[in-house]
Structure 1
Amino acid sequence: MKDKMVDLFEYTYHFNKEMIKVISENLEKVNEKTISLINHTLNAQQVWNSRVLGEKSFEVWQINPFENLNEINHQNFQKSIEIIENSDLDQRIEYQNSRGTKFENSVFEMLFQAINHSTYHRGQINSLLKQNGIDPVLTDYIFYKR
């Protein structure tokens, strides 16, 4: 199971990097929503990692300096892999969401949420890229594995 989780985070890392690259090559064409969504995608993974580790997290909608996005993506990837390698994926963690409501989920569920959330928002970003005349990034998992 851990190997499969690592694979999914490698996929997530790869396509987050590709999204950042396409956005950076087309900064004059992208809109605020695109910038907001790529930041949110990265911030959310950092938030989920932090919840598992009990660390301080980003705000989910904070806007980071664009030149820091690749480093944030890389740090997120490393933290996620560290969690997978050093955690019991069935362990349940209590945390609070951004509104202060308490929840409890397994490490696996929290990590899978980070992966699924990233996929969802990359789809939204692709839609915005296309609307602005930019070729979308083919981010299907099966293309990644071919």
Structure 2
Amino acid sequence: MKEKLTDLFEYTYHFNNEMIKIISENISKIDEKTISLINHTLNAQQVWNSRILHEKSFEVWQINPFENLQDINNQNFQKSIQIVKNSDLDQRMSYHNSKGAEFENTIFEMLFQAINHSTYHRGQINSQLKLNGIEPVLTDYIFYKR
């Protein structure tokens, strides 16, 4: 299971970098919604990591300096891999969501949420890129594995 999660975080890291790259290369055509979505995608992974590690988290919709996005993606990746390697994935943890409500899930469920959430928002970013006349990035997992 840990090997599969590591693979999925490598996939997530790779395509988050590809999204940052295409946005950077086309910054003059990029709208505010795209900037908001790429930030939210990275912020959410940071938030899930911080819940597991009991660290201070970002706000889910905060806008980070664009030049920091690759570093944030790298830090997210490193922390997610650290969690996978050092945690009992079946351990249940309590945490509070961004509205303060308390929930409990396994570490696996929390990590998978971070991966799935990133995939969802990269699809939204691709839609925004297309609307702005930019060729979307093929981000399907199967393309990554070929």
Which structure 1 segments of 5+ residues have no match? Answer: none
Q: Is residue 102 from structure 1 mapped to residue 102 from structure 2 by the alignment?
A: yes
- State the Cα deviation string for residues 40-67 of structure 1 (Å, max 9, x = none): 0000000000000111100000000000
How does the TM-score come out when normalised to structure 1?
1.00
Deviation at 1:96, TM superposition (A): 0.2
Percent identity between the two aligned chains: 81
Q: Once superposed, which parts of structure 1, at least 4 consecutive aligned residues long, lie more than 4 Å away?
A: none
Q: Distance in 1 between matches of 2:69 and 2:77?
A: 12
Aligned to 1:6: 6
Which structure 2 segments of 5+ residues have no match? Answer: none
How does the TM-score come out when normalised to structure 2?
1.00
Q: Secondary structure at the match of 2:28?
A: coil
Q: Secondary structure at the match of 2:56?
A: coil
Q: Distance in 1 between matches of 2:92 and 2:54?
A: 13
Aligned to 1:132: 132
Q: How many residues align?
A: 146
- State the Cα deviation string for residues 109-146 of structure 1 (Å, max 9, x = none): 00000000000000000000000000000000000000
Aligned to 1:111: 111
Aligned to 1:49: 49
Aligned to 2:69: 69
Aligned to 1:143: 143
Aligned to 1:92: 92
- Structural RMSD (CA): 0.2
Aligned to 1:32: 32
Deviation at 1:70, TM superposition (A): 0.1
Q: Distance in 2 between matches of 1:30 and 1:134?
A: 9
